[in-house]
Structure 1
């Protein structure tokens, strides 16, 4: 049982770091440009990186962080109290299995 708690703690820390990295994305992009690391700069702006952050931090994101085509669905999710409670209580995979049919744009 203790190892499961340790794994959840590690996952939470990774999610926090991913959030910080996403929030610092513009600063990192400028740094990579200044170091002439175009290949890394391009990878840093991948849409997949954005969606990874969004699906792992749905209730911490702001509407401005979400692409236009997802905003309406994102707002529905963000203000769904039951979904937020499930997000805290369920593991990430179980949460998205449950909510994928309801929020398909946010989950992809």
Structure 2
């Protein structure tokens, strides 16, 4: 919506003038408003992209964490560029953005939402790849089991071919302590995506078949009916 408004800003100004809305016209045409509007178009575009990346049934909290950290790193890059007079990161804003305060405020807001985001990186390191970690990266009570896993050549090959959830689920019976710690993190809800999907599906079907509709597994209707 903001993008459309920005694209049609000249037509909007003509319309406001034709409607004799002098105050609206003057405010809309002001340099400050145009700069702010251009910034909003660009920043909501990237925020929407970040939001879309975090949706889907195969996304876990570690993936969410990585996406947020990457975006916050981009904010630092954008701020640095803007301070140097380079607005290349903002397609619509171009050289009109002369102040980096807007980007700084957005970074501060993300820090408020995710205050411990850097701490999680080290705490979840062994989950992402246990074969590139040291024994000191895991808790004392699972260190011996961790070493057994790290030097298991079969497990190392499996890790290359499996996603995180499948890998840790497979080795839960073999290495229960460390696998349990990993799965506790991986099974956490990283966002409200599944909840929103459930409500959307419920509104659409309004029946007791909600779980069948939400599942990624195609149900055998004949067996269920029987």
The runs of at least 4 consecutive aligned structure 1 residues that moved more than 4 Å come to 43-46
Residue matched to 1:89: 161
Matches within 5 A, 1:4-43: 14=66, 40=115
Unmatched segments (≥5 aa) in structure 2: 1-62, 71-111, 182-226
Tell me the CA shift for residue 45 of structure 1.
Answer: 4.7
Separation of aligned partners in 1, 2:177 and 2:128 = 14
Aligned to 2:170: 98
Whole-angstrom CA distance in 2 between matches of 1:77 and 1:44: 26
Bigger RCO of structures 1 and 2 (CA < 8 A, at least 6 apart): 1
- Equivalent residues, number: 72
Q: TM-score, normalised by structure 2?
A: 0.27
Conserved in 2, the CA contact under 8 Å of 1:63 and 1:75?
Answer: yes
Which structure would you say has the larger Rg? 2
TM-score in terms of structure 1 length: 0.53
User: In the alignment, which residue of structure 1 is the partner of 2:128?
Assistant: 56
Q: Does 1:77 align with 2:157?
A: no
Q: Does the 8 Å CA contact 1:73/1:105 hold for their aligned counterparts?
A: yes
Task: Describe the superposition over 1:11-46 as per-residue Cα deviations: whole angstroms up to 9, x where unpaired.
Answer: 6xx4xx79xxxxxxxxxxxxxxxxxx9x936x7556
For residues 59 and 66 of structure 1, what CA distance do their matches in structure 2 show? 12
Give the root-mean-square deviation of aligned CA atoms. 3.1
Aligned to 1:28: none
